[in-house]
Structure 1
Amino acid sequence: MHALARKRYHKAAPLILVLMLLALLTGVGAVITSQSAEATTASASDVEEGQKLFSSNCATCHGLDAEGQDGVAPSLVGVGAAAVDFQVGTGRMPMQASGPQAPAKDVVFSEEEIAQLAAYVASLGSGPSVPTAEQVDPELGDAAAGMELFRTNCAMCHGSVGGGGALTQGKFAPSLMETTPTHIYEAMLTGPQSMPVFNNANITEEGKRDIIAYLVAQRDGSPGGLSLGAIGPVAEGWWAWIVGIGLLIASTVWIGARSS
């Protein structure tokens, strides 16, 4: 039996197995990359039109080559289409005035123009692409799981239900009550303003969709009636102490006055 095993074994076998495994992994990676590229590739005309829009509307701050200017605007090389779709699609860009944070405002460009700008910036370097409709569909998410993820990663800035909140140095976490699912997903991918980046290693694609499902579920109204600013237990505690105890004190004084 041992003699037969020795005849079947060859010294080069481990090396051959390692090479075969590397070839398999390389092939799988190439297929996945090509599929992603096919899904996000824009036409040459879109890139060309996007470059024209960029030159006439964005280059003043970001530079003609989109590499940014120190103290004025950051480089856009490698930020991906998702960052452009979020910033321009929410009206934050073009920025009206220099400040600690770019607020959301009326959108300047059409959806087609936003897609063209995103296509041009995406052509400058690889980065996060615009999510698909399936990735942001709240109906496919788990709101309960999203609640846990949101309160662990997001509630300290955006509030327990996404109502927003103040930060330091004039910055703020905006309300998410009217933000579209696509823009919520893109914000997690790109980390705009003071927000950290939540890539798929931090929060998976399914986790991001669960968070969206939770936030959308909060738009149906507060179960208690009054939202109290949608900032969670702080407002509820204020109501209990100021109003509740205030009524108790008033009742005590009234009873004391009646008894005397």
Structure 2
Amino acid sequence: MSTTNPHSDAQPDDAGTPAARARARRRSKQRRRLANVAGLMASLVLTGALYSVFAPAQAAVEPTESAAEAAGRELYIRSCITCHGENLDGVPNRGPSLIGVGAAAVYFQVHTGRMPLVRQEADAPDKPVVFSDEEIDQLMAYIQANGGGPTLPSGDLRGGDIAEGGELFRLNCASCHNFVGEGGALSSGKDAPSLEDANDLEIYTAMLTGPGNMPVFGDNQLTPEEKREIITYIQTVQEMADPGGAGVGRIGPVGEGLVIWVVGVGALLFGIFWMGSKA
């Protein structure tokens, strides 16, 4: 009589039973959850590590306000904010926006004394300068940093062909400023100012920004070389002596005709009356 294990044939493989499969699925799900949690934690740790590495470098290159810009901001708050607004966006019926005008417009308006404006009128007249050169540089730095726009040119502002400069001046400027830059009257109580006392940089920045009724002559309209030729012509004419004697305002035949009538005809009439009285 053979001895057999009563459980040797009846015991099935545990891996094949439904309970074993359920346990395997639960363990697999738990492993997936643990893997997901571990992956999330690894991502968070990696993100934190990357931020700690790169964030200080990013903060170090962020632009900060320079000392000149800070001083310019104080000057702006004290002298300009009433008309041009807290954010350089202008104030209706008081002052235009300064966004996009750049350091070039600031130099022209402030260096010629037109700004700060004393009162609202047809033209902003030139008058003695209020700010020092250092303060003007500070205002330019602040406006340029916060509003952008044309910057000051560099290098020599004269050069090129003086004859070509004269041709460009007569074509683009003489209709308002007179053919030798003496200025003239415009409509609505405005006038084109004389260029007699304007320095090279004032003329250049005026062409670059177009103050008042003056059009803007950007580099697409007049190249930097053409602007220098115009400046050369203007300053050469201003420095030249008048070969015929008195310049008579350099306003052309109008002034000369006035002299002929007032002086010439007046002297002639005086002579006639004098001879008549003697007779």
Out of 192, 217, 237, the residue aligned to residue 173 of structure 1 is: 192
Structure 1 residue 240, shift from structure 2 partner: 5.2
- Separation of aligned partners in 2, 1:189 and 1:205: 10
Out of 132, 155, 178, the residue aligned to residue 174 of structure 2 is: 155
Across the aligned residues of Structure 1 and Structure 2, the Cα RMSD in angstroms comes to 2.6
Aligned residue in 1 for 2:226: 207
Structure 1 residue 154, shift from structure 2 partner: 0.7
Q: Deviations over 1:21-65 (max 9, x none)?
A: xxxxxxxxxxxxxxxxxxxx9972211111111011100111111
Aligned residue in 1 for 2:254: 234
Aligned residue in 2 for 1:88: 110
Letter in 1 for 2:80: C
Greater mean deviation of Cα atoms: 164-173 or 227-236: 227-236
Out of 73, 91, 94, the residue aligned to residue 69 of structure 1 is: 91
8 Å CA contact 1:79–1:126 kept in 2: the answer is: yes
Greater mean deviation of Cα atoms: 117-126 or 51-60: 117-126
Q: Deviations over 1:157-184 (max 9, x none)?
A: 1111001111111111111011010000
- Separation of aligned partners in 2, 1:178 and 1:65: 34
Aligned length: 213
Structure 1 residue 241, shift from structure 2 partner: 6.1
Matches for 1:180-219 after TM superposition, within 5 Å:
180-219=199-238
Q: Deviations over 1:102-130 (max 9, x none)?
A: 11111111111101101111112331111
Structure 1 residue 236, shift from structure 2 partner: 3.1
8 Å CA contact 2:174–2:181 kept in 1: the answer is: yes
Q: Residue 126 in 1 paired to residue 141 in 2?
A: no
Aligned residue in 1 for 2:183: 164
Aligned residue in 2 for 1:56: 78
**Structure 1 stretches of 5 or more lacking a match?**
1-40
- Separation of aligned partners in 2, 1:247 and 1:89: 44
TM-score, L = length of structure 1: 0.74
Aligned residue in 1 for 2:31: none
State the SS of the aligned residue for 1:124. Answer: helix
- Separation of aligned partners in 1, 2:267 and 2:108: 50
Letter in 2 for 1:185: Y
State the SS of the aligned residue for 2:147. Answer: coil
8 Å CA contact 2:180–2:238 kept in 1: the answer is: no
Q: What is the percent sequence identity of the aligned residues?
A: 48
Letter in 1 for 2:249: G
Structure 1 residue 232, shift from structure 2 partner: 2.1
- Separation of aligned partners in 2, 1:210 and 1:236: 29
- Separation of aligned partners in 2, 1:44 and 1:177: 36
